[in-house]
Amino acid sequence: MSSVVIVESPAKVKTIEKYLGKQYKVLASYGHVRAFPKKDGSVDVDHNFELKYEVIPDKKKRLDAIEKALAKADTLILASDLDREGEAIAWHVADEMRLRGALKNKQIQRITFNQITKDAIQNAVAHPGELNLQLVDAQQARSALDYLVGFTLSPLLWKKIRRGLSAGRVQSVALRLICERELQIRAFKPREYWSIEARCLTGGVHEFDAKLHALENKALSKFALPDAKSAAAANARVQQGSFMVTDVEKKQAKQQPSPPFITSTLQMDASRKLGFTARKTMQVAQKLYEGVEVNGEPVGLITYMRTDSVSLADEALDEMRHYIDTVFGHDYLPAKARRFKNNSKNAQEAHEAIRPTYIGRTPEMMKTILDADGWKLYTLIWKRALASQMTPALLDQVRADLSSDDIVLRANGSTLAFPGFRKLYIEGTDDQSSPDGDRLLPKLSVGDAVKIENVESKQHFTEPKPRFSEATLVKELESHGIGRPSTYASILNVLRERKYVEMDKKRFVPTDVGEIVSQFLSQYFDSIVNTGFTAGIEDQLDEVARGERAWRPLLHEFWAPFKARVDDTQENVKRSDITHEETSEVCHECGKPMAIKLGRYGKFLACTGYPECKSARPIAVPGKEGEASEPAVEELSDQPCDACQGELVFKTGPYGKYLKCKACGNNQPLEKPKDTGILCTACNKGTFLEKKSRRGKVFYSCSTYPKCKNAIWNEPIAKPCPSCAAPFVTVKVTKRFGTQHVCVTEGCDWKETVEDAD
């Protein structure tokens, strides 16, 4: 017998084929092979939500190859990934082969494995199962819901706001969370408060800090010292006091290790510790899962990275415990293996957490094999998994009260009595400030005299919750039960691609367009884009996956009220209701009210008398840094137009600010581009000018553009090519080869390495 094995990624093909032998032909589907056509009607709401799929154009050749291989085989083995998407891909491949008649007299088997190792692959083939149609139904229901929301709301956004916008069932909730946080930040009113901190000395040599805790024997609340005057009075009283230690409280606390990674926590910690985006984290993890060559053998380095389970296999636990006992010693090994419980009621217990496939494959061993990003992420996964099975850390916590009459200073501190798992790994946090408890205190006893060396009054202001980072947004979505392991990276990426958000210091900031889209959806489709509804849909999809409910009734329940709301909004909401907001400001040219409008590049103020009055100016949105980008009232430049010597005005476009001629319409940059003086060989008329692309990358283009569109990325220099005698070569700098001179003439491959100057 011979078999055709279908996996998702081509990176797995050679490895799995080597493990299985010549009787197995392994082919890759390259992900999904069928999808809804990109047009309305793929989910037929009038015929019980019949789904219409079509083969993705570039996947036809993949399916042709599978059909051809099946002609010589007895069995089709579906080995796509072990999540809902993987189950759906397997079903689509099998269904397409059935439609082609390629499965006559063939067996169909479904296998799954959470790591690409020889034992795991061979064990999966030895114990095949069947397609889980409940998971397929859940995935189809999710796709249908997302399709219905997207293809119904997106055209509405086009008509009511602007073309090219999109809405999504989950992405719109994420956008709403970001926008609501931004509104909270803008509305926040800081509140002043003060603290008193004393530098103390005991025993003549040991210094430590203590904070004012009580006055007149009453504990101070956060806002007990609301201004500089009250702080100065308290400061003076502390300086005049004579303090001694009146109470010392010591206790030992255990700090337990975190569970091994699941998808969301991996994305969070990779963001905090490595600066990776969720998308990059998943891309790097995918490569680690698919594997690399180690000592001439292809091997997967981690278990499957799309999981919401914190469970670990018994053999993995045994392996880790043996490693801990051998390398760290018996003190770091708990009496029994630690088993974590899943917080999510819908976590798939059959899956494992993310861990190394073999704990003996240490980060040190992999440093020369993996690239920098792969090694960093592998190290993170390796340490977190191993640390989860180590003993708790022991912290000696000390609290000391220093009293003088009715004044009490309090000092807090802690010391690490035993590192336990902290010897290997400490979970990242979003708050980088160091708490008081991390301070080290000297040995203090009741009755010890304490000298006050210095007293400092510190002013503070309350702060709003910070904007979401990738880590905190994933955490927020997960806390509401929104999204699933495979969706977080794509959700965040879509928000950026649609330009609904920008990143400022690795935090999400909504754009003007993003805010208006979110405001529109929240106002008219609150029941769709609220966290409770979206989380409820996830629960219902999980019920479908468990076989507890059918998927078509779920779509019926959703569609009727949703479509009614869309129709009502379409008919009764005007575009101006959404994109125009009148203000109390008056136009300085005609006296009519000014309105906030949404332009191509953001919000701006424009006269309501348009088109008779074209007065407009930028508007700064409270809480946002920088200027708004809509063109202002015409501001003249002192430069003349290069084309006709006419007046130039400042404008703003997608590439930033530029100058435009009022007379002839010629556009020119604010600053003249640097001329390299190198003659363009395409037209022999212009010279190469140094310019910047939209993304800020430097390139060199002919000065006669647009007549000549010749452009190159690397800087040209006046040095003839010694090979083909071209009049110039370019300077190319790479990490691998350093600085090189390279000829760009077609057909000439001359290059030479240049010694970099010290």
Catalytic positions are 304
Torsion from C-alpha of 320, 323, 325, 328, nearest 10 degrees: -110
Torsion from C-alpha of 350, 356, 360, 363, nearest 10 degrees: -170
- Write phi, then psi, for 651 (nearest 5 degrees): -135, 165
Token duo for residue 426? 């400490």
Asked if residues 433 and 265 have their Cβ atoms less than 8 Å apart, the reply is no
Q: Which stretches within 352-509 are classed as H helix?
A: 363-366, 372-387, 470-479, 488-497
From CA 528, how far away is CA 558, in angstroms rounded? 9
- Write phi, then psi, for 347 (nearest 5 degrees): -60, 140
Question: What residue type is assigned to position 43 of the chain?
Answer: V
From CA 245, how far away is CA 200, in angstroms rounded? 11
From CA 39, how far away is CA 151, in angstroms rounded? 8
Contacts 24+ apart (CB under 8 A), 669-676: 675/703, 676/700, 676/715, 676/716
From CA 686, how far away is CA 709, in angstroms rounded? 11
Asked if residues 6 and 80 have their Cβ atoms less than 8 Å apart, the reply is yes
Q: Extract the runs of DSSP E, i.e. beta strands, from 569-697.
A: 580-586, 593-599, 602-607, 616-618, 636-640, 647-653, 656-661, 667-668, 674-679, 687-692
Q: Which stretches within 71-220 are classed as H helix?
A: 84-99, 118-126, 133-160, 171-187
CA distances from 330 to 393, 605, 679 (A): 14, 70, 74
